[in-house]
A and B are shown apart, each in its own frame.
Chain A
Amino acid sequence: MKNKILIANRGEIAVRVIRACKELGIETVAVYSEADETSLHVKLADEAICIGGARSKESYLNMNSVLSAAISTGCNAIHPGYGFLSENAQFVEMVERCNITFIGPSSKTIAAIGDKASARAIAKANGVPIVEGSDGIVENAQEGLKIAKKIGYPVMMKASSGGGGRGISIVRSDEEFLNAFERTSLEAETSFGDKSLYIEKFIESPRHIEIQIMADHKGNVVHLFERDCSMQRRNQKMIEETPSPILNELLRRKIGAAAVKLAKAINYVNAGTMEFLVDPKGNFYFIEMNTRIQVEHPITEMITGVDLVKEQIKVGYGKELSFKQHNLKINGHAIECRINAEHAMKGFIPTPGKITNILFPGGIGVRLDTHIYPGYEIPPFYDSMIAKLIVHAPTRLEAIKKMRVALEQFVVDGIHTNIEYQYLIMHNPDFIKGQYDTGFIARFNALVEAENRE
């Protein structure tokens, strides 16, 4: 049977996966909602099939429709991209039962480590440091209060089935706790269909450091170094870079080794990312694992020269990794700026609409992963990210300068974007010094708004 992959996603990641498939000579099937008829991934794939209405629930999250599309078109594999069904253990099990290859880990692995509360338990059992917190899900607010008192404020309560920065609250005192618990449970219920929460000590001024893992069926597990994703707004990443300005070689090896150890302990296969928090003293704590390819994977590709999506596909089809840990080296520095269709000066409200013209940046070490094109109408139903601008240069400072030029030369007419906002950050002294934490963007916004008012 000829290899044929259905890409169960949309936007820039669907384009990314289609490209990798084409380079490998594999036929591609795109799926799209009624709102995405004119989307780029539909035009690029060998075949395309409409799977439902505009709302994600009716289309990209519709397991039956996606699976039916794969079966009808004769696909022998499905690549889930990120988000949507990529970490849905039930969907993966359905795919497995239909004898279709899922490009990712098994449904069992996803169920085990994708649940954030149980992931903490697995890490603890394997000697990987975790943030102090509840042992699993907190049954009710009273129990939570007891745990919070024991750990000591401030604490963070998080949705066990959560992701994308939602269903998270920070509580600093007993008085706030009960209210916050109710509110966050409700948010978790509506966002993820599961109100379960767990509690962790809240680490002030942390850096968000994640490790890219890649593993094959023969037990070869490697890490492809770290990504520093501390530049976040409301727990959503805006800028990522590698290597991290705060990791020395020793810490890098320690965190990398911990990530690999954990991956081996759960027999992980394919691509995945272990997320850690690093405090100002250099202590690191495992917080969760993402069992899929991530948005920011390009910066890792730039410094290592490894095409992660191609490796995913190869491993998915049973091939071994073509490299071992000692083959991997960090080469230069890479930064990614997420470009969103949003109005930065008006509270970042999403700004869907028609793109009338685009000028694309380019040159050595400039990469643009995007699905937009002149005349494209951005639908209002999905997230606002329209492009990822990535630069790669021999040093961090050169990378920053390169990003400035690339942002200057990237013109998107017809809608608002955060291009200028990212440009401002590229000139910010703290960012240039590499001294920032997950609270940076909030403080930066306050600064910008104050300037605006003057």
Chain B
Amino acid sequence: MTIKEIQSIIKDFESSPLMTLELEMEGFKLKLSKNKTNEVVTPEKVVETPQDNKLQSTHKPVQLNPQNLIKSPLVGTFYAASTPTGKPFVEVGQTVKKGQVVCIIEAMKIMNEITSPYDGIIKEVMVKNGDVIGFNQALMRVGDANEK
């Protein structure tokens, strides 16, 4: 690995959307990262060079940060359960998977199921049964297991 090659890698890395890059070869290890908080790491990009050295960006699993909010795509009324006396779809502390129904927003007499865009644990429910919900309003926060 020559200095020029390292400089070229740094230049490419800077202009790419990647946040971190780890390169390990025999006798050589390079780690680059951009310092930005609360940024979800973009998935891997595998680039193969003719010399058979694989440049591989490491990717961490989608970094959950405290700001992973489930927002309402609709204007309407929030319901925590599917029936007035029923058990809520989710509760604080519960694990959810991406695509899992977490609540209902009633708009124009139609009950719309709202699903979580993330895997994780419900950390906070910001609204209560019967609340009027505006467009893009935060309903719940999803975090990961390591978060306090």
Verify A68–B136 contact, CB threshold 8 A.
Answer: no
Residues from chain B with Cβ under 8 Å of A53 in the complex? 135
Residues from chain B with Cβ under 8 Å of A59 in the complex? 135
Verify B108–A34 contact, CB threshold 8 A.
Answer: no
Contact (A50, B134) CB under 8 Å given A68-B74, A72-B76: yes
Complex Cα–Cα for A67 and B77 (A): 12
**Chain B, range 102-119, C-beta contacts under 8 Å to A:** 106-109
Verify B136–A49 contact, CB threshold 8 A.
Answer: no
Residues from chain A with Cβ under 8 Å of B133 in the complex? 72
Verify A68–B108 contact, CB threshold 8 A.
Answer: yes
Contact (A72, B75) CB under 8 Å given A64-B108, A67-B108: yes
Interface check B145, CB cutoff 8 A: no
Complex Cα–Cα for A425 and B115 (A): 58
What's the minimum C-beta distance from B69 to chain A, rounded to whole angstroms? 14
Complex Cα–Cα for A65 and B110 (A): 12
Complex Cα–Cα for A342 and B140 (A): 42
**Chain B, range 49-105, C-beta contacts under 8 Å to A:** 74-77
Complex Cα–Cα for A59 and B75 (A): 10
Contact of B134 among A51, A67, A71, A98 (CB under 8 A): A51
Verify A49–B134 contact, CB threshold 8 A.
Answer: yes
What's the minimum C-beta distance from B130 to chain A, rounded to whole angstroms? 9
User: Chain B: how many interface residues by the 8 Å CB criterion?
Assistant: 14
Is chain B's interface secondary structure helix, strand, loop, or mixed overall? Answer: loop
Verify A50–B77 contact, CB threshold 8 A.
Answer: no
What's the minimum C-beta distance from A381 to chain B, rounded to whole angstroms? 15
Verify B136–A50 contact, CB threshold 8 A.
Answer: yes
Closest to B134 in A: A50
What's the minimum C-beta distance from A369 to chain B, rounded to whole angstroms? 27
Verify B137–A68 contact, CB threshold 8 A.
Answer: no
Verify B75–A65 contact, CB threshold 8 A.
Answer: yes
**Chain A, range 66-89, C-beta contacts under 8 Å to B:** 67-69, 71-73
Best-buried of A47, A50, A73 by chain B (most CB within 10 Å): A50
Give A contacts to B, CB under 8 Å.
Answer: 34, 47, 49-53, 59, 64-65, 67-69, 71-73, 98
Known: A68-B107, A72-B77; 10 extra A-B contacts, CB below 8 A, are A34-B136, A50-B137, A51-B75, A51-B135, A53-B135, A65-B107, A68-B74, A68-B75, A71-B109, A72-B132
22 inter-chain pairs at a CB distance below 8 angstroms, sorted by A residue, are A34-B136, A47-B132, A49-B75, A49-B132, A50-B75, A50-B136, A51-B75, A51-B134, A51-B135, A52-B75, A52-B135, A64-B75, A64-B108, A65-B74, A65-B135, A67-B108, A68-B74, A68-B107, A71-B109, A72-B76, A72-B132, A72-B133
